Structure 1
């Protein structure tokens, strides 16, 4: 359909496309649903007439599920979360609020909430698990605050079984590097993810001033842990080759800061162009670094010093896999050759 006037669009930190009605002298607000959908057009027409959008008004009315979600955002339990966690919680709750926020709290029974989760799970099991976990936390908090009388998700709700993120293999790393040589923005993004072993949200916040004494200082957004990561020679070569625009180590084409979703999208597009499978995602480079270090003999404690993990439970898997291969090789080599 033709582009509608007064509609402003942007992509939020979680990669979700948001649309708002903005017209001088008129009441504005969010436009729900896809462009052209009935709820989108209903809200747009209401704003054009100078009225509040019916759905936006209904989902925030007292006694609705939407009003509970809005209240949760103002509670200490939510405001105490780290910025990245807040974005993740909103990422899970906002789609539910858009579709079901107008419903009365009494109608959001266990059966109905499980149906909401399972509907999401039809296409996105991982998103369904996240929605389930966040709803459980919110409803537990609401019960403790007497905002609801019964927590419909107090009893265990079965999670979807999903695999772990793929760890890039050496062949996949080689294939990416062959397609994206030093000097490309894609190679710099890849090198930052792989040679620092940090999460995408921390990589996009790295600035040139954070480099000193051959190290990059990183304060992880998720854990609050401050790390000093030694710059690997291959990462130093990537820095030297550039691009070197802007204050951040990786930015957009003009050197402006980017969000994690943009970095993830950059790697996704580069992976496709390199002919690699879609399972080769940005976070898999962090895992590939830990795998490489473990195979080189690094202990779980050394891995944690780079990754920022507070416990070595997850990291033990990397060292165990590496140790298993080495020990198995040694074991086979110790067997005499029978003639």
Structure 2
């Protein structure tokens, strides 16, 4: 039994040995119970026949952690989230549902939940912070609905300290442009990210129909903010020279719409091929645009009009840095020569 084909084993975050059916071209999933047990064999035979396995008794049902997650997806609180937030929440909760959905709620203590978060944090601190935040909100809703008595994560759980995205330098921008000339998808993607200052999720939704009177209309997915951004001459040249297939300004090789992940992959490969360091990531182009505007004398309010920030607190850092450099240059220039 131990050598059954297509059975993959792993140890979960709580030290429990688990088994999955994995076969190319076939539906896969968890194999419940010990190897050779009736429930294991029933699921295995179902998967081998190309059918979904019968739901294990109690799995993701009432009183389980998976059931709580499923109930949260049906809640008003979840329904009121913006589409982008819903995607992020599922990105955090679905792996937990798969690994721990069968567990009774009574076993999901603070100690166990913190251990799960820390296990994720060991390999991906940013994902651990997202998981922590989503769990806290979901459990708060569960308490309010009377599904659990107390929120095990109500007391503070420390977040991981993670760095901010690197702001591309002028030399790094020039290096990318030298590697990817006008007319390439890579240069078009770069130009859309840099000259509009928008997030990747908003860039992939830009269409030719969004262009009017020399501006691109954007409704930000994250904030819902509506912007009309003037098309910079360099961006106009990139759009004119770039691939013209499809309605979207940036699509796949055939002009079909792409998701944010596909844009990120396109840029990661292009950045690597341009010989740029790993610190150069697509989101850093948004920051580079803000830096460039601030160095050109734009106020924080003008930066916000392009970036869509609701407040200027974060943007004040860009203008302060630009002002410091300008004032320092003027100050040094005011010192008379002693020769």
Per-residue CA shift, 1:284-324, capped at 9, x if unaligned?
11111011001111000000000011111111111111111
Task: Tell me what 1:95 maps to.
Answer: 95
**Deviation (angstroms), 1:201:** 0.5
**Is 1:65 the equivalent of 2:65?**
yes
Aligned-residue Cα RMSD (Å) equals 2.6
Task: Tell me what 2:305 maps to.
Answer: 305
**Deviation (angstroms), 1:333:** 2.2
**Is 1:53 the equivalent of 2:57?**
no
**Deviation (angstroms), 1:167:** 0.9
| Counterparts of 1:231 and 1:308, CA distance in 2 | 16
| Counterparts of 1:66 and 1:326, CA distance in 2 | 56
**Deviation (angstroms), 1:60:** 1.3
What's the TM-score, normalizing by structure 1? 0.86
**Helix, strand or coil for the counterpart of 2:168?**
coil
| Counterparts of 1:292 and 1:231, CA distance in 2 | 16
**Helix, strand or coil for the counterpart of 2:216?**
strand
Shift of the 98–55 alpha-carbon distance from structure 1 to 2, 3 Å rule, reads: farther
**Helix, strand or coil for the counterpart of 1:59?**
coil
What's the TM-score, normalizing by structure 2? 0.86
CA contact (8 A) 1:59 1:101 kept: yes
**Deviation (angstroms), 1:336:** 3.5
- Structure 2, unpaired ranges of 5+: 7-20, 32-39
Shift of the 133–212 alpha-carbon distance from structure 1 to 2, 3 Å rule, reads: same
CA contact (8 A) 2:27 2:51 kept: no
Aligned length: 313
**Is 1:31 the equivalent of 2:29?**
yes
| Counterparts of 1:213 and 1:131, CA distance in 2 | 43
Task: Tell me what 1:15 maps to.
Answer: none
| Counterparts of 1:325 and 1:319, CA distance in 2 | 10
**Deviation (angstroms), 1:114:** 0.4
CA contact (8 A) 2:197 2:307 kept: yes
**Deviation (angstroms), 1:330:** 1.7
CA contact (8 A) 1:31 1:44 kept: no
| Counterparts of 1:324 and 1:116, CA distance in 2 | 44
| Counterparts of 2:145 and 2:273, CA distance in 1 | 51
Task: Tell me what 1:325 maps to.
Answer: 325
**Deviation (angstroms), 1:338:** 3.9
Structure 2 counterparts to residues 173-322 of structure 1, below 5 A: 173-322=173-322
**Helix, strand or coil for the counterpart of 2:256?**
coil
CA contact (8 A) 1:59 1:100 kept: no
CA contact (8 A) 1:59 1:97 kept: no
CA contact (8 A) 1:192 1:235 kept: yes
**Deviation (angstroms), 1:218:** 0.6
CA contact (8 A) 2:28 2:52 kept: no
| Counterparts of 1:44 and 1:215, CA distance in 2 | 57
**Deviation (angstroms), 1:128:** 0.5
Q: Which moved more, 1:59-68 or 1:189-198?
A: 59-68
Structure 2 counterparts to residues 102-121 of structure 1, below 5 A: 102-121=102-121
Task: Tell me what 2:126 maps to.
Answer: 126
**Deviation (angstroms), 1:47:** 3.3
| Counterparts of 2:173 and 2:220, CA distance in 1 | 25
- Structure 1, unpaired ranges of 5+: 5-18, 34-39
Task: Tell me what 1:14 maps to.
Answer: none
